[in-house]
Structure 1
Amino acid sequence: MRLLEDRTIRLFVGLAAFFCANAVLAEFIGVKIFALEATLGIAPLHWDLFGNRGTLDFTAGTVIWPIVFIMTDTVNEYFGMRGVRMISWLAAGLVAYGFLFAYIAIHLAPATWWMGAAQTQGVPDYQAAYAAIFGQGMWIIVGSLVAFLVGQLIDVRVFHRIRRHTGDRHAWLRATGSTAVSQLVDSFVVLYIAFVIGPQHWPTAQFLAIGTLNYVYKMLAAIALIPLLYLARVGIHRYLGHDRAAELRTLAAQED
């Protein structure tokens, strides 16, 4: 049998590719801050945490990250800790690779006619806009990568700890439990590196308020997407066959 004719290998390649694509996209679209209330067409919901007040504004990357959580738990379920570690390091490498070439692209000399090509669209300087969108600060890049890797490594450990007690039951519990712990770390690590020890030097109260708000949002989104976790399981069992899928889950559990 040819290697790529093995459905297990094709499944892992597909999951890894989708995981990495979402991780890279989340990093690059995250430069945009959107208003959740306006997006949903509701009145602003003003929050007050640790003496800080604001509305529900998040980075666009938070739209995709819950899907990354689901992908992490799906790979963990069938390919174990080694599978998650492999795709996590691969995704981090691809994100760094993307930022490197974004940096190079920003510093290429722009064509004179191109710089003003979007003036009719309200963009007077295309080069400045391009640099602002793709040229995220070094502290944000480092914070994102460190938080991502730390969160993923914690997620895989907690997932298997819960699995040890639940066996094959309660997939939602180990998925939500591992996300709850890993994103508690992720949500604060990225802000701490990017905005506390970074050049902006956020005060502690602001750091805690924004970190808490981001964490609550991620958890609510992760819980809302639990049905996708079960849909993914159904699809995998149909694709591989019940016996092969069960075998993979058993082998993944034995890695603990």
Structure 2
Amino acid sequence: MSETTSAPVASDGAAIRGRHFRYFDFVMAAFVVILLLSNVLGAGKVAEIELPGVGYWPFGAGILFFPIGYVIGDILTEVYGYGRARRCIWAGTVALLFMAFMSWVVVALPPAPDWTGQQAYEQVFGQVPRIVFASITAFWAGEFVNSYVLAKMKLMTKGRHLWSRTIGSTVAGQAVDSLIFYPLAFWGAEGWTHALVLQVLITQWALKVSWEVLLTPVTYFVVDFLKGREGVDVFDSGTDFTPFRTRV
């Protein structure tokens, strides 16, 4: 049986409060999973590629997947509104905190005498507390700025020009993310000059925004699909934009 598609109905956040959506749980799960995996698998590895005319260019492997979390954050706000996006951001924040706590406990447990993987395990999962704190703080602030800017721009553009608000919100959100993370994590750290921190900050911000631009066609496709299946298009005209609540 094929799923029905209906023309999305413009609604404000209050009008859909308590309403069940078929795909919201899946989008929320994807948001949290990408967030956790990009921090676990991507954060600890520095990769490099050879650029024509430039030579070998190092980059953090997490840059390949972490920006997808911002794309999903855009989709959440655009389709379901700021209130539900806020709930997902808090779910992601709590998941990151638990992951950090679990990593600390598991790494600290004394290894069995015949187990030889402790050093490698510590290298992958034994993250420096300063970096963990910077990462979680930057994610929380950046995602809320991203969602807020997109919701406000949607009202300003009357729902037109989706590309302008997905890119515009990412420019703002990723700027806040980078401005918080890199100074908190590396300013004054051994091997990190002030110039290097600023260079990496600007480079990573530019790469993340570029990812958003490249993924714009995908964002359009997913947004159109979800709005059609859910039959809703949320405008946050009467929304309380405080980040300090989780109730939709």
1:213 partnered with 2:225: no
The match for 1:189 is: 180
Q: Could you state the TM-score of these two structures normalised by the residue count of structure 2?
A: 0.82
1:224 partnered with 2:214: yes
Q: Could you state the TM-score of these two structures normalised by the residue count of structure 1?
A: 0.80
Identity over aligned pairs, percent: 25
Q: How far, CA to CA, are the matches of 2:207 and 2:142 in structure 1? A: 16
Structure 1 contact 70–228 (Cα < 8 Å) conserved: no
Of 28, 46, 67, the residue aligned with 1:33 is: 46
Query: Which stretch of the first structure deviates more once superposed, 204-213 or 229-238?
Result: 229-238
Q: How far, CA to CA, are the matches of 1:60 and 1:8 in structure 2? A: 37
Q: How much does 1:110 deviate?
A: 1.6
The match for 2:113 is: 112
The match for 1:74 is: 75
Q: How much does 1:132 deviate?
A: 0.7
1:179 partnered with 2:170: yes
Q: How far, CA to CA, are the matches of 1:176 and 1:191 in structure 2? A: 22
Of 158, 166, 182, the residue aligned with 2:157 is: 166
Could you list the runs of 5+ residues in structure 1 that have no partner in the other structure? 1-5, 47-54, 116-125
The match for 2:246 is: none
**Partner SS for 2:21:** helix
CA deviation vs aligned residue, 1:64-112 (integer Å, no higher than 9, x gap): 1221111001110122221121111110110110111111111222223
CA deviation vs aligned residue, 1:163-190 (integer Å, no higher than 9, x gap): 1221121111100000001111211211
Q: Where has structure 1 moved over 2 Å in runs of 4 or more?
A: 6-10, 42-46, 111-114, 199-204, 237-240, 252-256
Of 127, 131, 134, the residue aligned with 1:140 is: 131
The match for 1:245 is: 232
Structure with more contact order per residue of length (Cα contacts < 8 Å, sep ≥ 6): 2
Q: How much does 1:235 deviate?
A: 2.2
Query: Which stretch of the first structure deviates more once superposed, 66-75 or 7-16?
Result: 7-16
CA deviation vs aligned residue, 1:25-46 (integer Å, no higher than 9, x gap): 1111211111133xxxx44725
The match for 1:13 is: 25
Larger helix fraction of residues: 1
Structure 2 contact 79–227 (Cα < 8 Å) conserved: no
Could you list the runs of 5+ residues in structure 2 that have no partner in the other structure? 1-17, 242-248
Q: How much does 1:201 deviate?
A: 7.5
Q: How far, CA to CA, are the matches of 2:135 and 2:75 in structure 1? A: 22
Q: How much does 1:238 deviate?
A: 4.2
Aligned ranges 1:52-67 → 2 under 5 Å: 56-67=57-68
Superposed CA RMSD in Å reads 2.1
